[in-house]
Amino acid sequence: MSQLHLVKIKSTESNDVIWTKRNKKQVPNKLALKKFDKTLRKHVLYKEMKK
């Protein structure tokens, strides 16, 4: 059975939300990624939030 799950990550500086996949076996902690925010037009930190 696959351990990939859809997770929602939200920008820390705006209300932009991105859906991505996460392997719960390989990444046991919550995701925190630097991604490009389209509304701010710069790279910001995105953190995993509840669905």
Give pLDDT tens digits for 8-17.
999 999 999 9
pLDDT at 27 over 80: yes
pLDDT of residue 1: 62
Question: What's the pLDDT score for residue 3?
Answer: 84
pLDDT at residue 51 greater than cutoff 80: no
* Count of domains forming the chain: 1
Give yes or no for a contact between 9 and 47, defined as CB atoms under 8 angstroms apart.
Answer: yes
pTM for the full predicted model: 0.85
Q: Residue 21: give its domain's CATH number.
A: 2.20.28.120
Share the mean pLDDT of the chain: 93
pLDDT score at 8 = 96
Distances (CA, A) of 34 to 2, 3, 10, 16, 46: 26, 23, 11, 13, 6
Range of the domain at 23: 4-49
